[in-house]
Structure 1
Amino acid sequence: MSTSDGDGPDGKERIRERVWNDLEDSGVARFPFPPHGRIPNFAGAEDAADRLADQSEWEAAETVKANPDAPQLPVRRRALREGKTVYMAVPRLSDERCFLKLDPDVLEDYDAATTVSGSSEHGEQVGPEAVDEIDLIVSGSVAVTDGGDRIGKGEGYSDLEYAVLRDLGLVDETTPVATTVHERQLVDDDVATGDHDVSMDLIVTPERVRRPPDREQPSGIDWDLLTDERLEEIPVLERIRDR
């Protein structure tokens, strides 16, 4: 899948629509439907999770920060079954206790705890001070380039979650960031990125693993990009700013 329309927000939106349409038209998309407007689930998501679990970054990780979306459900379940603690962000970081902790030593039903609805019921909601240092981040993607540029849904929360963790000293430049996607989500577009955009260190599909060249990750929160409205919506930002 290849064009060159990724320059700027409108270009990214064209890529999203193209990828969503392709996943739907090809029959690769999986529940929930439609794939549009979300991190799309795909055929082979479990195979991609298995391939990720074969990587040294996974094997070395004791704590995994993961997104809550359907295609990464097998990643979250495998992490718990292998004794790894999983952290997920509260939707839109809208609470002072903005992370959910899934502790494999405490939970009884890993399948229920790792669903979007079940995580809030079975997980422990904690503030940043109760979050352990993160060893591996797993992000969901709509599309990703060979160079590791990621396109999400366009809301910016994944990058902001990384920035919050970085500002709090819970991740650093060496913390690997991975994504699991279908081959059809790999694009050749030139994607415009900013200093706040998190790049992928591992791109894992059901068939293979790609390791883009090392790139400098965001060093923390870019306050100039945050509107007053977003600052009001996310209590943890005020706490970090006022430290």
Structure 2
Amino acid sequence: MAADSSSTCHERENIWGRVHSKLLRHAVPDSRFDYDFSSFVPDFRGSSSAIDRIVELACYKSANTILITSDNSLEQLRHRALRDEKRVLVGTHKLRRGFVLLDPKMISEDKHEKASWLDGMERPGIGRPVTLTQLEEKVDLCVTGVLAVSGQGDVIKRSPQYFEIQWGMLLDMNVLDRNTPVIAVAHSCQVVNEEGTGVERIRTDGQWNITPDYVVTPEKALKLQGVERPGVGIQFDTLDSELLVTIPSLQELKGIQMMEQIMKGANFAQETSKPSPSVPNVDEQLGISMVERIMKGYKV
């Protein structure tokens, strides 16, 4: 991700500091990370009421496949979606192991709850690890947890689970589009009012501003108007290089895009006489190597 300006970063941290102190009173600690919100989005007291509001939305009822992030606050939603016979796509923790597809037709009903757990979905016979090229289902709805969000849908403190990267990769793979509904789930103390808080001074990087259509809390489902999202997915030239090193799905996407560029440049569809192909440059060879590893089922 591209870095915010120093002034924007300062504003974000000031607002997050105020939210953090309130959230501590409502958050459920994680068994491994305790209250370290840099590692996870916590579940919170009353989250079941927020889930009840989501399942009443038309976009949930009509969805067949839902991207639900691995945030603790969404465990109940993953379980509910499986009970409602919806396929659930989940990015693993910080996308280190790519995506897992939970298909209720392939999981016995008595294992639906275990499948909703982060420690259960990757067990044998439950979830199916999938690469980007193996994704055949169109994603009809995205649901993510957030640490802090404004009433206008500007994400002030993002989930450590890289929802924006998940969205960008799936957009590039045509698994979803700009109009696919997005829901952000939060406790009411995580929703920041615009007036007098400094939110209006924050300038969000458009590439990573995946504005939700709804912000859902235990008390209400706030429908946002005039939502606009980026028309492009992952921009590798501005991406933090560490993310490319640590996220196999990004490596896969880069390899796919490089190979597409190579094939397009070679004009494979045209039968013309041309000189012998030149030796691939470094970037082209990287793309070829990545695709070769993908085709062999290589796992980073």
Normalising by structure 1, we get a TM-score of: 0.89
Q: Does 1:127 align with 2:143?
A: no
Q: Which residue number corresponds to residue 237 of structure 1? A: 253
Q: Which residue number corresponds to residue 80 of structure 2? A: 78
Structure with the larger RCO, 1 or 2 (CA within 8 Å, 6+ apart):
1
Q: Which residue number corresponds to residue 27 of structure 2? A: 29
Greater CA deviation, 83-92 or 36-45? 36-45
Q: Which amino acid aligns with 1:236?
A: E
SS at match of 1:64: strand
Flag as ranges the 4+ runs of structure 1 deviating above 6 A: none
Q: Which residue number corresponds to residue 175 of structure 1? A: 180
Greater CA deviation, 180-189 or 159-168? 180-189
Instruction: Give 1:120 shift.
Output: 1.6
Alpha-carbon distance change, 62 to 177 in structure 1, aligned in 2, over 3 angstroms:
same
Q: Which amino acid aligns with 2:257?
A: R
Normalising by structure 2, we get a TM-score of: 0.73
Instruction: Give 1:229 shift.
Output: 3.1
Give the conservation status (yes or no) of the 8 Å contact 1:148–1:212: yes
Greater CA deviation, 155-164 or 171-180? 155-164
What residue ranges of structure 1 are gaps of 5+ in the alignment? 1-5
Q: Which amino acid aligns with 1:238?
A: K
Instruction: Give 1:153 shift.
Output: 4.2
Give the conservation status (yes or no) of the 8 Å contact 1:94–1:233: yes
CA RMSD of aligned residues (A): 2.0
Larger Cα-atom Rg: 2
What residue ranges of structure 2 are gaps of 5+ in the alignment? 1-5, 194-198, 261-300
**Which of 156, 159, 168 is the aligned partner of 1:163?**
168
Alpha-carbon distance in structure 2 between the residues aligned to 1:85 and 1:31: 28
Q: Which amino acid aligns with 2:26?
A: V
SS at match of 2:149: strand
Matches within 5 A, 1:129-144: 129-131=133-135, 132-144=137-149
Q: Which residue number corresponds to residue 13 of structure 2? A: 13
Alpha-carbon distance change, 140 to 40 in structure 1, aligned in 2, over 3 angstroms:
same
Instruction: Give 1:155 shift.
Output: 4.9
Instruction: Give 1:215 shift.
Output: 2.4
Matches within 5 A, 1:177-216: 177-188=182-193, 189-190=199-200, 191-196=202-207, 197-216=209-228
Greater CA deviation, 7-16 or 215-224? 7-16
Q: Which residue number corresponds to residue 240 of structure 2? A: 227
Alpha-carbon distance in structure 1 between the residues aligned to 2:256 and 2:229: 19
Give the conservation status (yes or no) of the 8 Å contact 2:44–2:73: yes
Q: Which amino acid aligns with 2:90?
A: M
Alpha-carbon distance in structure 1 between the residues aligned to 2:219 and 2:159: 27
Alpha-carbon distance in structure 2 between the residues aligned to 1:84 and 1:104: 7
Alpha-carbon distance change, 179 to 194 in structure 1, aligned in 2, over 3 angstroms:
same
Give the conservation status (yes or no) of the 8 Å contact 1:39–1:152: no
